Amino acid sequence: MNKGKRQYVKHDEFFGNNYDEMSFICPSCGERFTGFPAFSRYMKNTYVCSDCGMREGFEAMGCSEEKAKKYVKAINKALDKLHSLPPDSKEVVPIIVEDDDD
């Protein structure tokens, strides 16, 4: 190993290619998750669950935490619907965000 030089590891070499068989604990929300992790915007060199990754992205665009959570919930609901459709389906699944009280 070369001292003082950074050693870069490709993402697939670290995690492998089968993310659905791996389980992680998200350091942001504490929930166990499987699947492809997201790189945290706030915690250096840390992977988080995809929900926290999306939430951090919305917050980075100026959304409040509450609004970001609503967006993530709406996206997950649409993704669940998409995953339930047959592969050859032409159905369009809208992302519907619940109205605010304001």
pLDDT of 73 reads 94
- Is 23 a domain residue? yes
Give the count of alpha carbons within 13 A of 97, CB side only. Answer: 11
Would the pLDDT of 21 be above 80? no
- How far is the first Cα of the chain from the last one, in angstroms, to the nearest whole number? 58
Residue 48, domain extent: 14-84
Q: Has residue 74 got a pLDDT over 80?
A: yes
When mean pLDDT is compared across 10-19, 21-30, 51-60, the lowest value belongs to 10-19
- Section 41-54 average pLDDT: 91
Q: Is 9 part of a structural domain of the chain?
A: no
pLDDT of residue 17: 59
Q: Do 76 and 98 contact (CB within 8 A), yes or no? A: no
- Give the number of domains in the chain: 1
Task: Output the pLDDT for position 59.
Answer: 95
Rounded average pLDDT over 43-55: 91
**Residue 90: inside a domain:** no
Mean pLDDT across the stretch 19-45?
84
